[in-house]
Amino acid sequence: MIGVLDYGMGNLGSVLNTCRKLEIPAKLISSPEGMEDLHGILMPGQGAFRDCMSHLRDHGFVEPLRAWVAENRPFLGICMGLQVLFEDSEESPGVAGLGILPGTVRRFSPTGTLKVPQMGWNRVRWMPGQSFFPQALHDRHFYFVHSYYVPMTDAKWAGGITSYGIEYLSAISFGECHAVQFHPEKSQRDGLALIRAFADRVNHLRKPSQENAS
């Protein structure tokens, strides 16, 4: 079972409907107690960094999420679900993120041709060596809506890059923790394929324990 994190914000309906369309067993989780029988977590998010962290704290999810990732259990973050993995954001000075990854989320600088927020379809290129994101989806277009971004880094969690005035990290991946700045649930066939890949990974990781139990 995959849990779709319900912490008071995020595009929950679209994400849950996508899971249903793909026949992926999924349910909304509104408290840490609901995480006990999960095999994977999908965290959608939209809105402000400050609000996201406030809602996570109010629902008691901050420490359980840190523990989940530290235990290398499957996680897929979407949009704000990527940004809050970092220490902080220029959007909300003084507000701490989950701090699972080091670094600050930055704001795009508008130019004569590039508007903020970035809204619409853009290309994503997977980083060499990453092992989660399907190569069949390399250099494909996904749907973005955001004003803040994760700067480029050579760190081991770099999963994919996108260009919008500058190159930035549009995907991260380390261990079983993955996150994307774009919205796969709004990205038609390729977005559905990405969510399917996460569900397949969750099922793959369950198999050894299932076989041992039998």
Q: Is the CA virtual torsion 191, 127, 76, 79 positive or negative?
A: negative
> Position of tokens 């700067």?
151
- Do 75 and 111 touch, CB atoms closer than 8 A? no
Give me the long-range contacts of 20-24 (CB less than 8 A, separation at least 24): 21/192, 22/192, 22/195, 22/196, 22/199, 24/195, 24/196, 24/199
Angle at the Cα of 150 (from 68 to 107), degrees rounded to 5?
130
- Do 172 and 179 touch, CB atoms closer than 8 A? yes
Q: Is 79 annotated as catalytic?
A: yes
Q: Is 183 annotated as catalytic?
A: yes
Which is the catalytic residue, given 19, 52, 79, 177? 79
Q: Is 55 annotated as catalytic?
A: no
> Position of tokens 């600088």?
109
Token pair recorded at residue 156: 């081991």
Label residues 89-103 b or e (16+ Cβ within 10 Å = b): bebbeebebbebbeb
- Do 182 and 124 touch, CB atoms closer than 8 A? yes
Which is the catalytic residue, given 55, 146, 178, 183? 183
Give me the active site residues, please: 79, 183, 185
